[in-house]
Structure 1
Amino acid sequence: MNAFTDPAHLAIPAEFTEALAAQRAHFEANRYPSYEQRVADLKQVVRLVADNQQALVDAVNADYGCRSSFETSFAEIAVTLDGLQETIKSLRKWMKPQKRHVDPMRMPLAKARLVPQPVGVVGIVVPWNFPLAMVFHPLTCIFAAGNTAMVKMSENSNHTARLLKQLAARYFPPSKLCFFEDGGGRGPAFTSLPFDHIFFTGSPATGKAVMANAARNLTPVTLELGGKSPAIIGPDYDMAAAAKRVMWAKTLNAGQICTNIDYLFVPEGKTQAFIDHARKAFQASYPDINNGSYTAVIDQRSYDRLMAALDDARSKGATVIELAEGQVPDAARRIMGPKVVVGVTDDMDLMQREIFGPILPVRTYTSREEVARYINERPRPLSMYPFTNDKALADWYIMNTLSGGVTVNDSVLHVSVHSLPFGGIGNSGMGHYHGYEGFTTFSKMRPILYQGPVRSIDFLAAPYGARARKILAMMIRMKS
């Protein structure tokens, strides 16, 4: 059974309902936190992260068994702090009511404004792959918008969950922020709560179940899902540079990133050149795959799934090429060296679902139209990555496909630009967060009209006499 399937009679843990009641009461008592209060909350998150960096890194490492401490510090701690500071700098501007145009002929002396107001209590469902970033990135937007938050961690993040529960209690009252561990089918109960918004990151299959649970309460959802994100190396692009950049992404967190390159297009006849450069790039970055700088696969089930997908590909005619040549990855610690798979076909498991590991299927192509057609015939991906110095070609790929986001001549990095909204489309998700768009996601952008002293609609009110009909006819002519 899917972990988020809602049974007919779902038992909601008392700690969930009690926490929701406390947060609802907190929000009702302070429905519009001031700019100063929101900045204070954001700075308190900064302190929570900055003061406890090593403990957070150690907790994530304990959950993974082997998680590169550098990658945790860079991709989770540093990027989180950067996003918090950017939000603090911009928040006063974001909170200002926006003036909107009112036609003075229709409503003389009236004014229109768009006012961002907090929505209330937000539930966050956190995945295991970036358990810190996927707490603090949405939380930054949620607190900036003036809300409270309840956070449910992944069952693969128990060390991190327990630490965050302890730390949150030191920096915030539970009526503002609280954390929960997973396990025992608690996911459906959490997403069935009548939150004011649910933010979920995970697989498309689980995202559908979360959306169904939320629908019972008409709770709005932001779904950050995954999918098979393609990269395309253009015929003009330097293969050594492309291979280095592709392998940086494919080995970061051992490929366990929702925006990672899931399959690669290379020009016909360039496959071996890519493999040679990819092997050199990996060996230069990881001369010892077992020394702790290379991250493990999260658990045995995932490791076995990846190995089974490779066996399936081999059985159907594909060739698996090991890039950690001359090294023996420690299988007991779930260290898996990166692999390129050539000769893939669509019936292989590797091409049927998101890989979420250090495996890279490679396809060849002869025309850009062939590439775009292949991408467009499949569910819309979370990201797309064209590598080309030809701006016209990059723009052609962008305009003739659709994905959540794009990085040109690299991958993954658009996620770290806080001024860009992040989010998928279709199978890869809905809604945005990061930056201003994250602020609006967790705000009700409330339209307000201030009527003027003269009410022109009186001239069009019943009874509909000759004057009203004449004015209406004139309005229609002016706009025709």
Structure 2
Amino acid sequence: MTKPADVSVRAGDKVSSESHTLSELLEIQKAAFLRDGIPDAKTRIDRINRLGQMLLDNADEITAALDADFGTRPRELSIAADVAGCMIDLTHQRRHAAEWMKETNVSKVQGLLGFKQRLRHDPLGVVGIMGPWNFPLQLTIVPAGSAFAAGNRVLMRPSSITAKTTDVLARVAPDYFSIEEFAVVTSKHGGGADFAKLPVDHMFFTGSPEVGASVAAEAAKNLVPVTLELGGKNPAIVDVDADISAAATFLADARMVNGGQVCLCPDYVFVPESKVGEFTDKVIARWADNFPTILKNTQYTSTINDKNYERIVGLIDDAVDLGATKHQVIPAGEQLPDATARKIPPTLLTGVKAGMKIEEDEVFGPVLTVYPYRDQKEAIDKINSAGHPLTLYWVGDDNERLAYVADHTRSGSISGNDFALHLLSAGLPFGGVGRSGMGNYHGEFGFETFSHARAVTVSTMPIKFSELMSAPFTKSDTRLTDVQMKMWNVIQGRASRKSRK
């Protein structure tokens, strides 16, 4: 039976997470979970409300911190993605938590015969959430809201790369939460590898496949289940009869969201061979219109740090050295790329071939590779050879060619004619497959990720299954066994004949 949480350290007492070690925080939350039991709907909704209020109350300071962490990052983007963007799913969780947590009667008819079957939706306990730097709130706060809806406590570790943003969260969180409910873990508690070793009840990680593999390995040592939201080189296919101007506009814009530093950005695009030149010209024209200046343009998001800046510039240079052609938008009077501002001009590459590093590495920056195709199967074969992406973009009508692509590829999602719209739907999951991740969240999918489906059966039947399954076995048991075998042979035979027809 659920009940309100008995929080001994009340929100507002300003107990900082940094006053405790990582292990102490986990023990505090585990003890509180066991002490209070499963929280009722009112408690869960209150926690989700406080999480949203924390974002809204501190939006200005959060966006300023994000701008400082990146170098330049538009306030409009930070609000849309890392503040207001979180509210969509938090609102959905708040509205439906009471409904989702209800015990389900699985079979009413069998219950009347004495075989009662119920399904509980129980919280796991303490959820650990590890976030990335590209959207340090969106990709931590949203899963935290799902974990609260499911009745859990949360230990949240945002990326140390966006340290200023993490510091703001760690400082304001005690105004809204007891550390028994929600604690922000900072670099003072250790690195991400230390967090991954925690014996929490579920570990949720968003980041690169390489780090995700390490997190999963550490979690496995404690038999901790994991949800991994990873990256991947997301392909796009422009259909043979698609409007090239519309395709170029959409993909040019989608590539430059957050300076290209989004796990859902298109990484490479297949264009009908006869239209590659037109597509390339229109992408460059769109970028030139969008970014008349870059170096001192506060709306042009900087590359997050020197390491990633050098990596992306290196990918471009390697491709050009090996024969690729680069098309860049560099405003008059500006020298780009610029290491001090960490700004790389929007770059389109053609003539990319096997052996170039950019063929294998996820760019995570303002670079789009274009491949020509004559037959759709060429694009499909190349996509399937590169590992399963987080999303696959389609530009064109909802037609039989899209259906063919969907049937012959695997990806976390398919996005047609716009950027990542499934993020806005409460009825769709967000997650990858294969190298791009395991598990999903958003809406009820998030609630289920952080819940345990717990079976409950109560029997008042006159026949006991335990008696039927244990010795001594009588002649009646033998006859019953023989009848079962005859029945199943008849049923299976009918099914097999139907299948053959």
Residue 446 (structure 2) pairs with residue 464 (structure 1): no
2:12 is aligned to none
Q: What residue number does 2:272 align with? A: 267
> Which piece of structure 1 moves more, 168-177 or 269-278?
269-278
Contact in 1 for aligned 2:173/2:183 (Cα 8 Å): yes
Moved more, 413-422 or 304-313: 413-422
- Tell me how far 1:288 sits from its aligned partner: 3.0
Alignment-derived partner of residue 170 in structure 1: 175
Compared CA separation, residues 449 and 77, structure 1 to 2 (3 A):
same
Task: Report the counterpart of residue 22 of structure 1 in structure 2.
Answer: 28
Query: What is the aligned partner in structure 2 of residue 8 from structure 1?
Result: none
2:451 to 443, 448, 456: 443
- The answer (yes or no) to whether the contact 1:198–1:222 under 8 Å persists in 2 is yes
Whole-angstrom distance in 1 between the partners of 2:86 and 2:189: 30
What secondary structure is seen at the aligned counterpart in 1 of 2:416? coil
Q: Which residue of 2 aligns with 1:3?
A: none
Q: Distance in 1 between matches of 2:71 and 2:38?
A: 43
Q: Distance in 2 between matches of 1:81 and 1:147?
A: 19
Unaligned runs of 5+ in 1: 1-12
- Stretch moving more, 52-61 or 317-326: 317-326
TM-score by length of 1: 0.93
Q: Deviation of residue 34 (structure 1)?
A: 0.2
- Report the Cα offset of residue 454 of structure 1: 2.6
1:473 aligns with 2:474: no
SS in 1 for 2:256: helix
RMSD, aligned α-carbons: 2.0
Corresponding residue number in structure 1 for 2:205: 200
1:223 equivalent in alignment to 2:231: no
Partner of 1:96: 102
Aligned-partner Cα distance in 1 for 2:333–2:47: 48
Give the secondary-structure state (helix, strand or coil) at the position aligned to 2:453: strand
Match of 2:93 in 1: 87
Could you list the per-position Cα deviations for residues 315-343 of structure 1 after superposition, in whole angstroms to 9, with x for gaps in the alignment? 10000101345473572211222110000
Report the CA distance between 1:459 and its aligned residue: 5.2
Deviation of the 1:166 alpha carbon: 1.0
Asked if 1:295 corresponds to 2:301, the answer is yes
8 Å Cα contact 2:22-2:189 kept in structure 1? no
Percent identical pairs in the alignment equals: 34
Residue 44 in 1 paired to residue 17 in 2? no
Structure 1: distance between partners of 2:108 and 2:324? 63
Contact 1:227–1:381 (8 Å) recurs in 2: yes
2:268 aligned partner, one-letter code: Y
Q: Is the 8 A contact 2:143 2:442 kept in 1?
A: yes
Matches of 2:325 and 2:183 in 1, distance apart? Answer: 48
Number of matched residues? 467
Contact 1:108/1:456 (8 A) holds in 2:
no
Pick one of 56, 76, 79 that aligns with 2:82. 76
Q: In structure 1, the residue corresponding to 2:21 is in which secondary structure?
A: helix
Deviation for aligned residue 1:187: 1.6
Q: Is contact 1:244-1:281 (8 Å) kept?
A: yes
Structure 2 residue ranges without an equivalent (≥5)? 1-18, 492-501
Superposed CA offset, 1:46-87 (max 9, x none): 110111111111111111111111111111211101111111
Q: Which residue of 2 aligns with 1:141?
A: 146
CA distance in 2 between partners of 1:114 and 1:324 (Å)? 60
Aligned-partner residue type, residue 165 of structure 1: A
Q: Partner residue of 1:387? A: 395
TM-score w.r.t. length of structure 2: 0.89
What is the identity, as a one-letter code, of the residue corresponding to 1:439?
A: F
SS in 1 for 2:411: coil
Question: Deviation string for 1:366-406 (max 9, x for gaps)?
Answer: 11111111111221111101112151111111111001111
Provide the C-alpha distance between the structure 2 equivalents of 1:375 and 1:229, rounded to a whole number of angstroms: 9
Indicate conservation of the 8 Å contact 1:461/1:468, yes or no: no
Contact (CA 8 Å) 2:284, 2:327: kept in 1 or not? no
Greater Cα offset, 407-416 or 118-127? 407-416
Pick closer, same or farther for the CA change 1:246–1:293 going to 2, 3 Å: same
Equivalent residues in 2 for 1:32-431, closer than 5 Å: 32-101=38-107, 104=110, 108-182=113-187, 186-289=191-294, 290-326=296-332, 328=334, 331=338, 332-431=340-439
